[in-house]
Every structure is written in structure tokens, then in C-alpha cells.
Structure 1
Amino acid sequence: MKRYWQWILALGALLTFAGWYTTTAHAEGVGYTVSAKLPKNQDDKNVTYFALRVKPNQQEKLGVVISNQSKKSATFQYGVNQAITNNNGVIDYSNSNPKLDSSLKVGIKDVFNEQKLQKVTVPAKTSKTVYVTYKMPSKKIDGMILGGVYVKKMAGKEAKAKKGVTITNQFAYVIGVRLRESSVDVAPDMKLNEVRAGQINAYNQVEANLQNPRPGLMSQLKVKTKVTEVGKTKVVLQNEKSNMAMAPNSNFNYASI
């Protein structure tokens, strides 16, 4: 028998921008650190990520310092990834080829020259600066382009075998990149798209696809949900989650379990 569900969704969001940050990535425990060489057009001197004021047609190289503190040479992968929102309601920079929201008109891959992951080898106890280059479109953009320089130490011979299984620890760090041409923030928006029934790990759930279709950051997002059968008032599923965030021009599936 086919069931129809009624989804009652309450949204609360504090539309702030200063609350977003990605700090300098430190990884002393795994033998390396990553930091940004901030350029002159840094528009927030109090942060250690790339918060840049840019202009149409502007081109610039951004430097990232990788310091290998270990006693062995190490190879790293790096690239610039688009900020998306994962299904936990967290802004995610780890995917080099994410599925992009239909509302995204100008993103990281449109302005950065590096379309593939690059590799660099850093000798033991030394530092090396790598560069990524962006060029802004000729037409002025509203809001922000949000992404991050993603740096990952590649697995080496230190992989350990345990009971016939090879275990390799990998660590990756991100330095945020925010590009904007104006200090006027574009207020984000919220749309409820598709609602569907599903199952994860044998648990029934109802998923709602939430979308922020504008080039503005959404933080301190709170979602309350109640699910009933159509025409009935008895709540069969309910959920509440706060302190979430949404990247500009992104969507994610919020699950009520």
C-alpha cells in the first residue's frame, strides 16, 4: 500500500557571515603544518584563511606553505575545492569533484586555473610554497565564491599491516578561500525541494532536500521537523538539529529519523 507523507518543517537561521572561518591548518601530530601567505587584498586581517576583496578580471597567485616537520621526505596532494554542504549540515571542502547545485553560476572551478589535484614533494625538515591562481570573470559577481585549498599527505611506506589488513592513516587540511567584490553581503535563502522516504543502516527515514540558492553563507541554522501521514495528526517521525551551516549555492538532504 502506497503511503503519502506530510512534512512539517520549521526553519530558523541567523544569517551571519563573520561566523564562518577556516583557520590555518596545523598538523604537528602527523608531522606537517599548512599555512596561507596572505596577500595585500586580504579584507579581514584577523583571520588566517584567504578572505579576499577582488575585482572583475583580477588575476592573482595564492601561496600556501607546506612545512614537513618529519624526518622523512613526504609527498602531498593539493587543489582548490568548491564548498558544498554535506548531509550533516556541515560546510565541506574535501571533495575535488562534488555534485554542484543547479543555482551555482560561478564557482571555484570557474575562476581557478588548477582543475586537477597537483603533487609536491617536500624534503624532511623543510618547507615549500605551492601556488594556486585565480582569475575573476569580467562581469561583476554578487555575493561570494567559497572554497578551500585542500592539502593531503599521501600514504607512504609507513602503512601498517594488522591481521592481514593494511591500515593507512591519511590526514587532510583545508585553508578557506572566500572571494567577494563587495562588502555588502547577499542574504542567503532557503528552499524546500524534494521530500522522499528512504532508509539508512536499516533505519527508516524521511529526507528533505534543503537548498540555499543564493551566493550567501548561512550559519547557525536550526531545523525542526515533524512527519505525519496525510490527513492525520499523529506524528510518526520528528527531529531537531541546530548549529548547522550551508555554503552558498548548495543543497543537502536533511533526514528525519
Structure 2
Amino acid sequence: MIQLATLGLTPVVVEEGLKKSLPEKLYIIHTKKESNYDFEKEAKKLKKKIEEQYKIPTILEKVDAFDMDKIIHSLLNIIYKEKKANANLSKKDFAINITGGTKLMVSAATVAAYLAGTRVYYVMEASKHRGEELVKELPMPVIPEKDDKGNTSKITKIVLEKIKKLGKCTYSMLLEEVRKDTRVKKNQRIEYHLAKLQTNDLITVTRGWEKPSKNKMTGKSLVDNKKNTIQLTPSGEYYAEFSDLLGSIL
């Protein structure tokens, strides 16, 4: 089992979280040095203590305490790389200890756990829970991984990947990119897949396409209102990048 733990002002909760089920490897998610507390220094001290006392290989992962998207991305990336290195690891071979850190870090860690389908640990306050097991495994909802036909949608996944590659695109740009892919059949249509992606809030489709040319009078970009702009939402970004890890809700 591999554990990821967010570090806050009480480092003891990271150490306490190890007692639920001793992991083979630990990632400590920490932030930079602040005026009131040196989180980076504390993370290094904790790493040394855990490696010496518990003999657990410990890796430090520095994040921005107030950038939720980047924290989620960092956690998903750790899990993705570990699973890629060891195909035998399942989602439940990972646990995230969400006790420490800012409220935003805790929220980001919870979202990452939900998306990746990992276990979630929370360490209770010892003074308020005497005689109880302090490390609680929180119940987490499971994302369904199959569509209504019981099959994972390969084409929808490919469409999502192409939108990420293009950044912003029109329907015709996306269709051309999809049809270049050797994994899809000739003259593949994508309307159904775009509708699924939009329904699941993984993409936005907005009226108007900003042209590269500008209005000579105003200096503003010209807009073609006959076309729509397609782009990923933040959730879509995660699914496009970590589709093998997150599975499919499509």
C-alpha cells in the first residue's frame, strides 16, 4: 500500500496515519516556508524520522497551498506514475491522509481521492477521542466506470484527448484531428461523444470562434459567430490527462 499525506501545523497526524496500515511508501504533500511556519523544513525532518524509525521510503512533494487544481494534479500524477510502474497496484492500494494542511489542501486531496478511487484516512484528535481508534477510514462514493451499454467508450476518450491536444477548437478542427487517429474508423462522427462530454461537464461549447486576425479599427480579435468554441473544463483536464487512472464516467 502507498500512502499520501497532506502536512499542516501538526506533523504528528502524518505519523499517526501510518498506524492504520503501514504503507510500503509514503508521499508527504507539503507547502513552502511561511512567515509563521517552515513547512518545507518540517517535511524534511518528518521524512528523516519516518525513514529511520519506520523504515518507510518517504518522498516529499511540494505544492502551492492555495492552488486547488495544481494540488489535485500533483496527487493524481503520483498515483498515475506509481500504477504505471507497478501494474499490480489497484485503486485501493492507495490511501490519502487528508488530516493536515489548509482547508483548500484537504478539499483538493478529497477530490483527488474521489477521482482516483483511493482510500481516505482522517486522524481524530487524541484528546477528544480517548480509547478510540484515532485513524478513521472515511466512506467514499465510487465513480461508475461503464456507460449505459456496459462498455467503456473508446471514441469518447479519444475525442477528449484531441480536445486537450488542441486546447481550444471548433467542431471541424476537432473532427479532422479525430479522423486522423488510426484507432477510429473512417468517417467517424463525434456529435454523440461531444454531447456525452458536455452532459458530464467535461467540456464547454460556447458560441463564437475567435479568429487570429484583428479588427483594424478596434484592434480586437474578430469573432466568427457561425462557429462554436470547444474546450475542456477543469474536470475535463483531469480526465483527459489521467484517463487510464480515472476510468470513464461516460
TM-score by length of 2: 0.26
Greater relative contact order (CA < 8 Å, ≥ 6 in sequence): 1
More helix by share: 2
TM-score by length of 1: 0.25
Structure showing greater Rg: 2
More strand by share: 1
